[in-house]
Structure 1
């Protein structure tokens, strides 16, 4: 499910966040977005998910314009953005059970939780987890389900060193399985997962 941008431009009010972006990310590849806060990384992810229309140019996913309102499209893309959340009253095990039911797949819940170092918190409500544990649960929710494209906005946030190593392994498995991964990050080691890097810079006035 290839992602293609052709002359893509996005803006916020009277400033360009990104402009004249041309790229092609094929199945099994990872695109890493870098740059300071406010440079357009999250905006690019929202454009790929169909949450925000380009001001210029086009972006396509699987040869079509992205549309997060389309159920079939949403089932092929897995997304962890700033506003992603969990059910505070559910345990991590219940979250994964719900995910398996929703997508009609069998998940090895015990193995997934152990890999994310959440095995000893499997039956604790998510609302009582630490910030790093909640982040691991959100990442599990995004990556345990089937997907062709994985979009991650600063996935390393709140993770400790072990969590960041686990995240790197998760991304490698996703691309190894043939998915496209696009992630925005401030964590330099994640650049090692990149087949493509898009560095976004300072804002420009609209002209």
Structure 2
């Protein structure tokens, strides 16, 4: 994973709260059913939290809470000391996310996607190196809609990780990746924490547990009625 040139992460200015993710007594209820309850967590800059548990245990819900697209029923969650709000431009620039509904422009090529990303964030990206490391170099000028499921996943991951960010949220990023792609994913996450980002990953991929600073098994938090 050497040689790729990613966007340089913006340093917080003096007086700016570090982008730490903190939850206290977090709970979400749908009707009479608790999807999550009693969640406490703290992810500091440079740390990775892995969320585990079977489908339906609340992993995606927790990531939506961190990104501010869903409100908690009880408890609190903060990112950088503030309530998360994906509608806020500064928040979106500092928090990068890959969720179930993340998508790409089907008519754009991988090169065009990365060039758009670089222009949007005002950063210099080594597009060729990034695509080579993601093994998309031979598909660089093919429209994204023509890529295989695994290749589309790699492109989405590049979109989330090649840009500047202080917090990275990934929902089952290993989905559709082959063995080499999963190794690449592990390296990408390690590089993100190495650059000082706080990373939260929902995953079923065991090697990510081995490299995590914290693991939260949501199946062990049985919601109380």
Q: What's the TM-score bracket when you normalise by the shorter of the two chains? A: over 0.9
Q: Is 1:175–2:193 an aligned residue pair? A: yes
- Offset of residue 19 of structure 1: 1.1
Q: RMSD of the TM alignment (CA)?
A: 1.2
Contact 2:36–2:58 under 8 Å retained in 1: yes
Alpha-carbon deviations, 1:107-131, whole Å to 9, x = none?
A: 0000000000000000000000000
2:208 maps to: 190
- Offset of residue 205 of structure 1: 6.7
1:113 maps to: 131
- CA distance in 1 between counterparts of 2:211 and 2:35 reads 24
Q: Any idea what SS the aligned residue of 2:36 has?
A: strand
Q: Any idea what SS the aligned residue of 1:164 has?
A: helix
Counterparts in 2 of 1:76-155, with a 5 A limit?
Answer: 76-155=94-173
- Offset of residue 193 of structure 1: 2.3
Change (3 A) 1:204 1:16: farther
2:85 maps to: 67
- Offset of residue 190 of structure 1: 1.0
- Offset of residue 206 of structure 1: 6.1
TM-score by length of 2: 0.89
- CA distance in 2 between counterparts of 1:77 and 1:141 reads 13
Change (3 A) 1:202 1:192: closer
Contact 1:17–1:203 under 8 Å retained in 2: no
- Offset of residue 14 of structure 1: 2.0
- CA distance in 1 between counterparts of 2:222 and 2:188 reads 35
- Offset of residue 202 of structure 1: 7.2
Change (3 A) 1:163 1:103: same
2:62 maps to: 44
- Offset of residue 186 of structure 1: 0.8
- CA distance in 1 between counterparts of 2:220 and 2:23 reads 20
TM-score by length of 1: 0.97
Q: Any idea what SS the aligned residue of 2:142 has?
A: coil
- CA distance in 2 between counterparts of 1:34 and 1:13 reads 24
Contact 1:17–1:204 under 8 Å retained in 2: no
Number of positions where the alignment pairs a residue of Structure 1 with one of Structure 2: 207
- CA distance in 2 between counterparts of 1:12 and 1:167 reads 33
Consecutive unaligned residues of structure 2, counting only runs of 5 or more, are: 1-18
Contact 2:172–2:203 under 8 Å retained in 1: yes
Alpha-carbon deviations, 1:147-190, whole Å to 9, x = none?
A: 00000000000000000000000000000000000000011111
